[in-house]
Amino acid sequence: MSTMQANVVTPDGTVFDGEVNMISVRTIEGELGILPRHLPLVTPLDIGPVRLKQDGKVQLIALSGGFMEVRGDEVNVLAESAELPSDIDITRARAAKERAERRLQEAKKENIDFRRAELALKRALNRLDVAQG
Amino acid sequence: MASLKDIKTRIGSTKKTKQITKAMEMVSAAKLNRAQGKAEQFQPYQSKIREVVASIAKGSEDVSHPMLQERQEIRKTGYIVITSDRGLCGAYNSGLLRETYQLIQERHNSEDEYGLVVIGKVGRDFFKKRNMPIVQEIVGLADQPEYAEIKNIAETTVQMFTDEVFDEVFIHYNHFISAISQKVTEAKLLPLTSLVEEAEEPKEESSGRLSYLYEPDAETILEKLLPHYAESLIYGSLLDAKASEFGARMSAMRSATDNADNRISELTLSYNRARQAAITQEINEIVGGAAAQS
């Protein structure tokens, strides 16, 4: 099975670096899967999990937005933050989820705080999803 | 002349000071190492974004974005000033603040023409004391700041540019050259005109540059990417400034230690002189006493 080099890079350092068979991400328009020898591509990413398939195993990474660059046999995911399941602090993510939910109840729609709470909730849910496989 | 005991106490206290400055020097050296490592880790992220943005700007001439264009009329300028939270780092803060202050005085006639975004306690106190308009401030950053810590301030600053509160944004910080030298640097953050210029310049590697597929389209990507890029520039400058801070503190503490060494040897010399003088005097008294008896 052919492979490609995948890198997941954040401002705080590289999170993942290795050969994968397939990578699937959530773009702002929907799910997108990339196989080796894909055309060069640039796309922004939404908050969501990244799935890296390696010899039948799937490595999950929780991503908080960013973008992906595909070229030749190299895929670069650049994110503001990205965490492996083992690095996720579940209690913190839970607390963030509850806090965001509470804020959503309080805030009125079309409010800037509403948007922020929504994003925070999305990030927290994404982390919890990834952490629990 | 100071008494023997006085000199001895002063030698003692100078030695203690020396111990402290020596320890601080070593701590700063260790922190400098870590800060440099952090800046290195950050490099790939920034260069990647830069590459992609430049290739989009190059690949599609008709694509434009307000963040890439010089504004016709500059009504208000934003300055991001990065200082440290603590002193004891030589001219690190004072040099930067003096230059920034002079520049602002030269460029602007009234306080309505500029706004300050200050990172670090020293800078905040400096501008507050002079009643200059501080738009945002952040103090108490960690020695090795995480991206999340400054994300907010970076985001709002970029947002202020987008909302046309600021028509251009400069960033002032100490650029790290080596452990013993830092340079006060002014860099234009927004608009990102340098990026366009760079994209237009023919580069050797550009022949191999790929034409990307854009999903959904180039404009949407620029929309997302440019703020990211600007924010990452702020973060990059902060890391650079942090490395400079530790470098400056390290050399300040080293020269303090050297000064303490000199002081100690001077004091030891005068201690010995005083001791000899005391002995000579004693001998003189004895000789004088003996002569008087015979």
Helix axes B4-59, B193-200, angle to 10 degrees: 60
User: Residue A132: pLDDT above 90?
Assistant: no
* Closest partner CB to A78 (pick from B49, B148, B221): B49
- CA B154 to chain CA mean position, Å: 17
Among A50-54, B196-200, B260-264, the range with the most confident prediction by mean pLDDT is: B260-264
What single-letter amino acid sits at B173? Y
Separation of alpha carbons B249 and B97, rounded Å: 17
Closest CA to B142 of B171, B125, B173, B120: B120
| Short-list A77, A71, A61, CA closest to A127 | A61
pLDDT digits (tens, 9 = 90+) for B149-166: 888 888 888 888 888 889
The residue of A5, A7, A9, A14 whose CB has the most chain B CBs within 10 angstroms, and thus the best one to mutate to test that interface, is A9
Give the minimum alpha-carbon distance from B210 to chain A in angstroms, rounded to a whole number.
7
Q: Smallest CA–CA separation between A86 and chain B, in Å?
A: 19
A11 with B232: Cβ contact below 8 A: yes
Q: Identify the band that residue B102 occupies on the pLDDT scale cut at 50, 70 and 90.
A: very high
Residue written as token pair 């990834």: A130
Which residues are B63's β-sheet partners? none
Quickly state the pLDDT bin for B68 (edges 50, 70, 90).
confident
Q: In this predicted structure, which of A106-110, B177-181, B265-269 has the lowest mean pLDDT?
A: A106-110
Please report the ipTM that was assigned to this predicted complex.
Answer: 0.75
Contacts of A70 (CB under 8 A, 6+ apart): A34, A38, A39, A40, A41, A42, A76
Banded pLDDT at B253 (limits 50, 70, 90): very high
DSSP code string of B158-204 = HHHHHTTS-SEEEEEEEEEEETTEEEEEEEEEES-HHHHHHHHS--G
**Token couple for A2:** 């052919």
Give residue A92's pLDDT. 87
Q: Is B211 on the interface with A (CB under 8 A)?
A: yes
Contact criterion met (CB < 8 Å) for B210 and A81? no
3-state SS assignment for residue B62: coil
Q: Which of A70, A78, A81 is best to mutate for the B interface (most B CBs within 10 A)?
A: A78
Contact B232, A67 (CB under 8 A): no
Residues 6+ apart with CB under 8 A from B10: B2, B267
**Is it the case that residue A48 has pLDDT exceeding 70?**
yes
- Provide the percentage of residues in chain B whose pLDDT is more than 70: 91
Tell me, what's the pLDDT at A67? 85
Which domains are assigned to chain B? 26-251 (3.40.1380.10)
Distance, in Å, from the CA atom of A116 to the CA atom of B281, rounded to the nearest integer, reads 83
Q: How far apart are the first and last CA of chain B?
A: 34
Average confidence (pLDDT) over B34-49: 86
What is the residue whose two structure tokens read 């507050």? Answer: B128
State the smallest CA–CA distance between residue B238 and chain A in angstroms: 12
**What's residue B62's pLDDT?**
61
- Express each pLDDT in B170-206 by its tens digit: 999 999 988 888 889 888 888 887 766 665 555 444 4
Q: Could you read off the pLDDT of A92-104 as tens digits, one per residue?
A: 888 888 888 888 8
Q: Which residue has the higher pLDDT, A129 or B289?
A: B289
Cβ of residue B96 closer than 8 Å to a chain A Cβ:
no
| Cβ neighbour number for residue A74 with a 10 Å cutoff | 13
> Is the confidence at residue B225, as pLDDT, over 70?
yes
Alpha carbon distances (Å) from A35 to A44, A52, A70, A94: 18, 11, 10, 34
In angstroms, rounded to a whole number, what is the distance separating the alpha carbons of residues A96 and A116? 12
Q: What is the pLDDT of residue B290?
A: 92
Joined tokens for residue B217: 């389209």
**Percent of chain A clearing pLDDT 90 (strictly above):** 16
**How far, in Å, CA of B143 to CA of B246, rounded?**
9
| H/E run at residue A25 | strand A22-27
Least confident of A70-74, A107-111, B3-7, B259-263: A107-111
- Burial grade of B50 (CB within 10 A; 0-12, 13-18, 19 or more): middle
Contacts of residue A13, Cβ cutoff 8 Å, sequence gap at least 6: B41, B42
The rounded mean pLDDT for chain B is 86
